[in-house]
Chain A
Amino acid sequence: MTRPSDHIDSTPGSNASPVGLGFGGYLRWFWRQLTSMRVAILLLLLLAVAAIPGSILPQRGADPNGVTQYQSQNPDLFKVLDAFPIQAFDVYSSVWFSAIYLLLFVSLIGCVLPRTKHHWQAMRSRPPRTPSRLGRMAGFTETELRNDEATAAEAAQVAEQAVEQARGLLKRQRYRTEVYRQGQSVSVSAERGYLRETGNLVFHGALVGVLITVGLGGGFGYQGQRTLVEGETNVNALIDYDSFTPGRFFDDSSLPPFSVRLDTFDVTYVTPDDGKPAALGQATDFTAHVTVFDTDGTERKETVKVNQPLRINGTNIYLLGNGYAPTITVRNAEGVSVFHESVPFLPQGADLTSLGVLKIPYGLGEEQVGMMGFFYPTQVELESGAYSSNYPDLINPLLTLDVFTGDLGINDGVPQSVYSLNQDKLTKLTGRGTEKKSLELRIGDTVDLPNGLGTVTLDAVPRFVSFDLHQNPAQGWVLFFALLATTGLLTSLFIPRRRVWVKATPVEGGVRIEYAALARGDDPTLEGAVADLVAKHRESLG
């Protein structure tokens, strides 16, 4: 079996039912079904449909926050959808999605292997015998070389000559040729375009390559996130990451021990002088200037930009996010520093109004203290009296803080986000809903905390950058196979595969020459090619 039996170019066979063939027969029947074109189409359509839910529901891989949000909004439905066989939040690694594409690939391999064998044989065999009747083939043309005085022997010689000429022409057009004789007739049978089927097989084979390398890359790679404030350093070790996701076969000890320091982070904004009022404040460039301390002890300056990752020792460093990290010092009533950190504040919009949280469990009186506040890089007052920022750069920076005391809820071992404050067991001391105004600090300001707890100082406002560090040892191979597949696709779709015949038969008073061709698959230029051959052949015969 070379092509699936329901391929348009194969002869219809009778393989309709498994009845009466026993277990082996049933298996063969099943295999034939699986490798049929019909089933391939159905699996492709099924794959397309199965991919849809993953674009509607948030996925853990692409949008983990969306999944958390969905869970808190629809807790009951979430449990059902997230249960094992449904796996609606991991669609692309779910059993049902995997089953479809694995079946598709089994079907593909089952189809491609026998065809490869057949194609290998076809490439090494001669073009098949010229059909006895060419009249119904594409581009059929008939001419006669007339010479009423020619003897039969002369006519036979002319026929031989004509076919030899045609063979030469076809060979120059890179046809493989074979001369056949049948009765009085002599003919050349020519075939070209084997590359069409080769391309087809390469395309499908390369897809298998893509699948395998995608799997390997995911298994042996890792990805980690790290937020760095200007001046901070990340060491490429597990402990130094904010989050780390290794592949299934990833070995921790294979992390190359380099480190990266964020020196400065430069942002270019559209300013009022740029004449683009609608785009005012839009960032046009982010550049992180870093120092790399390489494994061999050398250090060098590098930059990381949004579309220009830094590639070190097979690890790629990507710039994915940024914001402000106000440096805040908190002192107790005695003036002793109990907190001194640059706290990353999460940007809430394009103007970088940012929200941040400080947690000070010890050192300020009896109770734990939490603070939550907004940072406005260019603070303005709205008509309502509320504050806002209307430009993302530090033109008129202001930090506001609300102070809470009580239990931060961090002692029971439940992991908490550093960006949120659990207010269940906290008492609010300043800000909306209390008698005191929120604390307001500009750079360099020190203000008193309520209840004589101490003071808080805004020392400076450096920027922070969140970097992603990835390693995917197979991604170059994925690209290689993808490009190989494309090459195969181009060849299989656009190289015509055709057979051409030129037959010469001595007849009464001359030699009859017939031309005809046949295409496999779509071949828009076949007739033109035959007409061209006829013209050239006539010319060569004089």
Chain B
Amino acid sequence: MGVTLPLPRVAAEFAVDSTTVLETFEQYSQMSLFSALLVYALAFIFFAVDLANRAGSDAEPVVGDGGVRVRSRAERIGFSLTVLGWLFHLAATVVRGIDAGRVPWANMYEFALTATLAIVAVFIIIQFFYDMRFLGTLVTGLTLVFLGVARVNFFRASMPLPPALDSYWLVIHIMVAVVAVGFLTLSLGLSIAQLMQARRERILGAQGLATTAAASDLGSGWSASESGAAAGGSTATLTRAPADGSGTPPRAPFAFLRSFPNADSLENLSYRMVIIGFVFWTFTLIAGSIWAEHAWGRYWGWDTKEVWTFIIWVLYAGYIHARATRGWRGSRSAWLCIIAYSTVIFNFTIVNLFFKGLHAYSGL
């Protein structure tokens, strides 16, 4: 039961006219998807140009009224294109769902379609709260790769739901999972940026350009919040002339990071994305358990997919603890975040495709 391999049909009596209305739905979905890929690719280029500009040797970060960094034209175009690409992406997904007559997440191709849609959606929405447009290259780049690979390798014509997936828990379980992945993807980008920024700060520090790290000698478990700095673009300290006034321009790798938030702020942002993602992942686990009880008669059975979902949960729990542990805060916890995210990707790709288990819904 639940085995849905589309085996070749040989009986002539079941031959079906292939020019039905439903097929044109699929064509619209595909057209929309290819438009999305094209627009994302353009967005990626503009975001990359923006990063290159940030590295420009004598470009001071432009600070407007209220200390908010003025966004470059390349970044603004890149972001607008991302929104446009997302609309095409959304249309492709919705039409796919209409074609299938169900939620558009029931096989590998559709999982990729929906998960990347959620990643970009979270990326767009988060900008209302924190300016993370600097992650544009990563988000559009990852989305392009995931969508491209999924389209080329995982594409299947839409199929009706097999009885095993025919449950409202399919809607809940997968929806919370993809939203979690959206937030965790941003945390990945932030942690990578944090590691590079930390290295840059170390090298600049060695050149006598120590950043203004707030001393926290407040004692007895209390520390001043750095939150004001976190809300986008507090950066100027890294680009000042050397303190000794010699006029030698500072030399450090990753010059484009000069207009990024400092490593501490990046870490705080990453942590915030992780805790939101972690809560959604917890819901994924619980919703999955309830569904597993309905479908398979047990809420937990160490199925391969369950194992990896558990591993991801434990690793992010480790990350959250690491953030609160002396000696682990900083670069160590950032590495942990990156490792944890790699297990998310592993769970979606390798486990779906090569591991034997009950979650055999890739449709491949």
Which of B41-49, B81-89, B227-235 is the interface stretch? B227-235
Residues of B within 8 A of A322 (CB): 1
In whole angstroms, how far apart are the Cα atoms of A140 and B250 in the complex?
33
How long is the Cα–Cα vector from A283 to B15 in the complex, in angstroms?
Answer: 18
For the complex, count residues of A whose C-beta is within 8 A of B: 95
Given A8-B324, A306-B164, answer yes or no on A520-B222 (Cβ-Cβ < 8 Å): yes
Are A10 and B221 interface neighbours, CB within 8 A? yes
User: Residues of B contacting A472 with CB < 8 Å?
Assistant: 298-299
Say yes or no: B223 contacts A519, CB within 8 Å: yes
Contact between B225 and A527 (Cβ–Cβ < 8 Å)? yes
With a cutoff of 8 Å between Cβ atoms, the chain B residues found around residue A279 in the complex are: 6, 157, 159-160
**C-alpha gap A277/B164 in the complex (Å):** 21
Kindly state the separation between the CA atoms of A492 and B325 in the bound complex, as whole angstroms.
Answer: 16
Q: Does B205 contact A (CB under 8 A)?
A: no
Q: Is the CB of B297 within 8 A of A138?
A: no
Question: Considering the chains assembled together, what is the distance between the CA atoms of A12 and B314 in angstroms?
Answer: 27
Judge whether B11 and A522 touch: CB under 8 Å: no
Report the Cα distance A276→B289, complex, angstroms.
Answer: 32
Q: Which residues of B contact A519 (CB under 8 A)?
A: 222-225, 227
Binds B, one of A39-47, A72-80, A160-168, A399-407: A39-47
Contact (Cβ within 8 A) B227 A527: yes
Q: Are B308 and A55 touching (Cβ within 8 A)?
A: yes
**A-contacting residues, B1-31, CB 8 Å:** 1-7, 9-11, 13-16, 18, 20, 22
For residues 310 through 329 of chain B, which have their beta carbon under 8 Å from a beta carbon of chain A? 310-311, 314-315, 317-318, 321-329
Question: Whole-angstrom distance from the CB of A126 to the nearest CB of chain B?
Answer: 16
Does B70 reach chain A (CB closer than 8 Å)? no
CB of A138 within 8 A of CB of B162, answer: no
A282 at interface, CB cutoff 8 A: yes
B164 CB contacts on chain A under 8 angstroms = 306-307
- Interface residue A428 (Cβ < 8 Å from any Cβ of B): no
A522-B297 in contact (CB<8A): no
Contacts of B329 in A (CB 8 A): 8
Contact of A390 (CB < 8 Å), options: B11, B223, B357: B11
Decide if B361 is an interface residue (CB 8 Å cutoff).
no
Interface check B271, CB cutoff 8 A? yes
| Contact status B272-A518, CB under 8 Å | no
Interface status of A470 (Cβ within 8 A of chain B): yes
Chain B, Cβ-Cβ closest to A383: B10
Among A292-300, A355-363, A432-440, A476-484, the one that faces the other chain is: A476-484
A11 lies within 8 A of B221 (CB): yes
| B355 beta carbon closer than 8 Å to chain A | yes
Complex: A274 Cα to B10 Cα, angstroms? 18
Residue of A nearest to B298 (CB): A470
Contacts of A132-187 to chain B: CB distance below 8 A? 136-139
Q: Is A55 in contact with B351, judged by CB distance below 8 angstroms? A: yes
In the bound complex, residues from chain B placing their C-beta under 8 Å from that of A518 are 218, 222-225
Stretch of A22-30, A56-64, A226-234 on the interface side:
A56-64
Check if B166 is an interface residue, CB within 8 A of chain A.
yes
CB proximity to A under 8 Å, residues B136-172: 156-157, 159-164, 166-167, 169
Task: Give the chain B neighbours of A415 by CB distance below 8 A.
Answer: none
Contact of B317 among A44, A92, A349 (CB under 8 A): A44
**Which of A254-262, A313-321, A503-511, A532-540 lies at the binding interface?**
A313-321
B296 within 8 A of A: yes
* Residue numbers in B under 8 Å from A479 (CB-CB): 286, 289-290, 299
A279 (CB) vs chain B CBs: closest residue: B159
* A351 at interface by CB-CB < 8 Å: yes
The answer to the question of A208 belonging to the interface, with a C-beta cut-off of 8 Å to chain B, is no
Does B314 lie within 8 Å of A51, measured CB to CB?
yes
- Docked Cα-Cα span, A61 to B301, in Å, equals 7
Interface of A (DSSP majority class) = mixed
Whether, in the assembled complex, B362 has its beta carbon less than 8 Å from a beta carbon of chain A, the answer is no
By beta carbon, the residue of chain A nearest B217 is A136
Q: Residue B293 at the A interface, CB < 8 A?
A: yes
Q: Is the beta-carbon distance between B324 and A9 smaller than 8 angstroms?
A: yes
Q: Is the CB of A62 within 8 A of B301?
A: yes
CB distance from A386 to the nearest CB of B (A): 12
Residues of B within 8 A of A18 (CB): none
- Inside 8 A of A285's CB, which chain B residues have their CB? 163, 166
Q: How far is it, in angstroms, between the C-alpha of A258 and the C-alpha of B35 when the chains are bound?
A: 60
* Closest residue on chain A to residue B351 by CB atoms: A55
Measured in the bound complex, the distance between the Cα atoms of B289 and A479 in whole Å is: 9
* B283: A residues at CB distance < 8 A: 486
Q: Residue of A at shortest CB range from B340? A: A48
User: Are the C-beta atoms of A136 and B222 separated by less than 8 Å?
Assistant: no
The complex places the Cα of A527 from the Cα of B268 at a distance, in Å, of 15
A214 surroundings in chain B (CB, below 8 A): 300
Contact assessment for A37 and B1 in the assembled complex, using a CB-CB cutoff below 8 Å: no
Query: Please, how many angstroms separate the alpha-carbon atoms of A55 and B356 in the complex?
Result: 9
A37–B325 touching, CB < 8 Å = yes
Q: Is B212 an interface residue (CB 8 A)?
A: no
B227 and A280: CB pair below 8 A?
A: no
Q: Are B297 and A523 in contact (CB under 8 A)?
A: no
A55 pairs with B1, CB closer than 8 A: no
Measured between C-beta atoms, what is the minimum distance from A70 to chain B in Å? 11
**Is there contact, CB below 8 Å, between B297 and A40?**
no
Instruction: Please determine whether A278 and B294 come into contact, CB atoms closer than 8 angstroms.
Output: no
Q: Which of B246-282 contact A (CB under 8 A)?
A: 268, 271-272, 275, 278-279, 282
Do B297 and A309 touch (CB < 8 A)? yes
Q: Which residue of chain A lies nearest to B18 when distances are taken between CB atoms in the complex?
A: A277
| Shortest distance between the CB of B115 and any CB in chain A (Å) | 21
Check A382 for interface membership: any CB of B closer than 8 A. Answer: yes
Contacts of B296 in A (CB 8 A): 318, 320, 468
Q: Give the distance in Å from the alpha carbon of A284 to the alpha carbon of B283 in the complex.
A: 28
What are 30 A-B contacts with C-beta separation under 8 Å?
Answer: A7-B325, A37-B321, A41-B325, A44-B315, A52-B311, A62-B301, A63-B357, A137-B218, A278-B157, A279-B159, A280-B16, A281-B9, A282-B160, A283-B1, A306-B295, A307-B166, A307-B169, A307-B295, A316-B297, A318-B295, A320-B1, A349-B3, A350-B4, A378-B11, A518-B218, A518-B222, A521-B324, A522-B225, A522-B272, A524-B231
Instruction: Knowing that A8-B329, A9-B223, A283-B1 touch, tell me 13 more A-B residue pairs with CB under 8 angstroms.
Output: A6-B326, A10-B221, A40-B321, A47-B314, A51-B310, A61-B301, A61-B302, A63-B357, A278-B156, A280-B14, A284-B163, A489-B282, A520-B221
Q: Which A-B residue pairs are the 8 nearest by beta carbons?
A: A9-B221, A37-B325, A307-B167, A44-B318, A318-B297, A277-B16, A306-B163, A55-B307
The interface of chain A, by Cβ under 8 A from chain B, is 3, 6-12, 37-38, 40-41, 44-45, 47-48, 51-52, 54-56, 58-59, 61-63, 66, 91-92, 136-139, 214, 223, 270, 272, 274-286, 305-309, 316, 318, 320-322, 349-351, 378, 380, 382, 388, 390-391, 468, 470, 472, 475, 478-479, 482-483, 485-486, 489-490, 493-494, 499, 517-527
